A and B are shown apart, each in its own frame.
Chain A
Amino acid sequence: MAELVSQEMFLNMGPHHPSTHGVLRLIVQTDGEIMRRAVPDVGYLHRGIEKIAERVTYQGFMPYTDRIDYVSAFSGNLGYALTVERLAGIEVPEKAEYLRVIAAELARMGSHFIGFGAVLLDLGAVTPFVHALRERETYNDLMEMLCGARLTHNYARIGGVSHDLPEGFKEKTLKFIDHLEYEFIDEFNNLISFNSILVKRFANVGVVSAEKAIEYTLVGPNLRGSGVQFDLRRDDPYSIYDRFDFEIPVGKGKFGTVGDCYDRYWIRIQEIRESCRIIRQALEQMPEKGEIRTKIPKVFKPPKGEIYVRTECPRGEMGFYLISDGGKSPYRLKIRTGSFSAMSILEELSQGVMVADLVAIIGSFDIVAPEIDR
């Protein structure tokens, strides 16, 4: 009888695979169900957004920032607008700042609905995903009221925002926030967050220690999930975030080790509450009347110079590094995104876990493929 030969299996997970959250390829080496290593292969969604920036005007680049991370389009808008404004020294009217904060926090919630919804979908729980999408639908409606678009908002402008608050928006938003704070989150937690199967799948899986998270430059909820309390909204305030009172949830190892998948998941659920708080305060403090946009010249040429501005996006820190040579379009624009750094730690985390855990780990980092590649 011939001797049985056993060898490790190479699997191509992606570029089209249900749980790669876009177009992402992982070259997976497995020994049966056990993972030896998974090497991410990025670049399938590269659209050359940074290069495009060098060929369009400063104002004309705004719609492209929607597409950096289309799950929370406004976050990209805001980061880019802030960068150009700081470079050119443009003052933004008070009311526009409030509108920006409201839109940015709505975008954060909308993104987290997809974020924790999709990871639950990866674990086979379809219903919580649909429940989360139901809430995102309301977010879409609100953004549609605000700027007319449901996915790619293109709401911010250099010097302000495009539209003033529409009638009935305030009431509808408050109702939505109430629904989230008092109904949805508790209901959702009872349905799935405290489900013992989910806890078994998430707790102690994909543990990232605080040092490791900093080494790999994890940002945003992924960093806070490892217990590092760092949030640009508080630590390096931009816009008017220093006027609001909110907490920064960090991972405490609720059901397992600090920095496991459950912590990263739980952070996102808690951040919804904090976003609700910020929106409620912003709606209260916002002036009734006021300019929403500083006029900038049609042919807009910021002064020569370079600047780096970072904002806290749902997927962590998004930085715009802009070099201007005084022309009509940027000389160079580099965009730094949170999902990219989350990809780099994947290879180390995937060693020795099960195939099913890899799916949970990818999902818990809330990776959006277009944000990796730009």
Chain B
Amino acid sequence: MHNLASIIQSILKELFGSSPSLDLLYTFLGYLVPCLTVVTVIGMIGGILTLMERKVAGAIQNRLGPNRVGPYGSLQWIADAIKLHLKEDIIPALADKNLFRLAPYIVFVGTVLTGLVIPFGGSFIVVDLNVGLIFLIVAVSLVVIGLLMSGWASNNKWALLGGIRSAAQIVSYEIPSALALLTVILITGSFSMQKIVAEQGLFPWQWFIFYNPFTFIAFFIFGIASLAELNRVPFDFPEAESELVSGYNVEYSSMRFGFFFAAEFGNIFVTASIATAVFLGGGNIGLDPYESGIGYQLLMVLVFFAKAIPLCFVSLWVRWTLPRLRIDQMMSMCWKYLIPISFVCLTCTALWMLVFNGNGIFWRMSG
């Protein structure tokens, strides 16, 4: 039993018996249920993050933020979603209509796909692929196709500039972010997300961020690079409201815009989850994720979210504090600083593994 799907399959087998045709159905159900759950969870978290963003922005800017719908405005995001559904869906007459319709879903699918391999703590992972982390990196970069597509299909010069900017930006920042994640892979020797989490522990000194000085740097490189991949301030060039009006999504309205929005905020949570799982120990509380009771498993989920949500908050906090860089400054930051530093981290971690026999800095100190 390595994931939720196989657990559900075995439960179904116990209940209804087993036969080749039924097994096929069980497999299908076993994956369908967790997948739907992940879509819902990421959509919901994306929605809640929009509310959180507005509340955080309000607090930073001496305002109240939304406070009309529900207690303390807590239902605002639902009202927003309903409103977006009710709006007219406008497709520009000269747009490439098929691509225009398709683009928001590709962006959203890219976000949701990453949800498949996120270890939410305990056995709560849809599928524990043996190439989990690689899959994550690939799925996150699917977003760029959607953004470029939307920018091109809108037949609008601002949108086109936004699309091109996003392609240049995300493709560049993919490299430092992947290299930063690879430093951890050197330590675990596995791409499996559950394995990466299992190698860490409950206490901070067992996390990979404090494994050696280079993983510590790698964590921050990943943080900066993922801010850029998320298209958020100080790297929000594809949208750059004051320069490109609204960038790639300028022609979008109604729920198609909503999908871009949900994907953007879903992605904040996804990258926070990756950072949590890879560098901050994920939902590991020192117990075996599969053998322990359901109570402990839920505790692991709680621990996971307790680490991921503050990271989401950091992303919001940065957005409401900093101005935007210029596009050439952003590029030179990536190619001149982040990529060389992340290569150094990768190489030095490899050397560290060789010299200290695979022991972390705290492992060494404690003997």
Contact = CB atoms under 8 A, between A and B. Distances in A.
Interface stretch (B72-80, B90-98, B233-241, B359-367): B233-241
B57 interface: yes
A147 to B, nearest CB: 26
A123 B323 contact: yes
Q: Which 10 A-B pairs have the closest CB atoms?
A: A124-B324, A125-B323, A130-B61, A19-B242, A123-B323, A122-B242, A356-B326, A124-B323, A18-B242, A127-B320
A17 interface: yes
Contact of B62 (A17, A130, A359): A130
16 contacts: A11-B158, A18-B241, A19-B243, A32-B164, A124-B233, A125-B321, A125-B322, A126-B61, A127-B320, A197-B234, A197-B324, A200-B325, A200-B326, A354-B327, A356-B240, A356-B324
A122 B57 CA distance: 17
Interface residues of A, number: 30
B320 A9 contact: no
A123 B324 contact: yes
A243 to B, nearest CB: 37
B57 A126 contact: yes
A239 B323 CA distance: 40
Given A18-B241, A124-B233, 4 more contacts: A123-B324, A124-B323, A197-B234, A356-B326
Interface string A1-45: 000000001010000011100000000000011000000000000
Interface in A189-238: 191-192, 195, 197-198, 200-201
A201 B323 contact: yes
A131 B61 contact: yes
Interface string B57-97: 10011110000000000000000000000000000000000
A97 to B, nearest CB: 36
Interface in B242-259: 242-245
A127 B62 CA distance: 9
Contacts of A356: 240, 243, 324, 326-327
Contacts of A123: 242, 323-324
A355 B160 CA distance: 14
A197 B324 CA distance: 7
Interface in A155-196: 191-192, 195
B158 to A, nearest CB: 8
Contacts of B61: 126-127, 130-131
Interface string B320-359: 1111111111000000000000000000000000000000
Contacts of B13: none
A47 interface: no
Interface in B194-253: 233-234, 236, 240-245
A122 B243 CA distance: 8
A266 B303 CA distance: 47
B60 A127 contact: yes
A113 B164 CA distance: 35
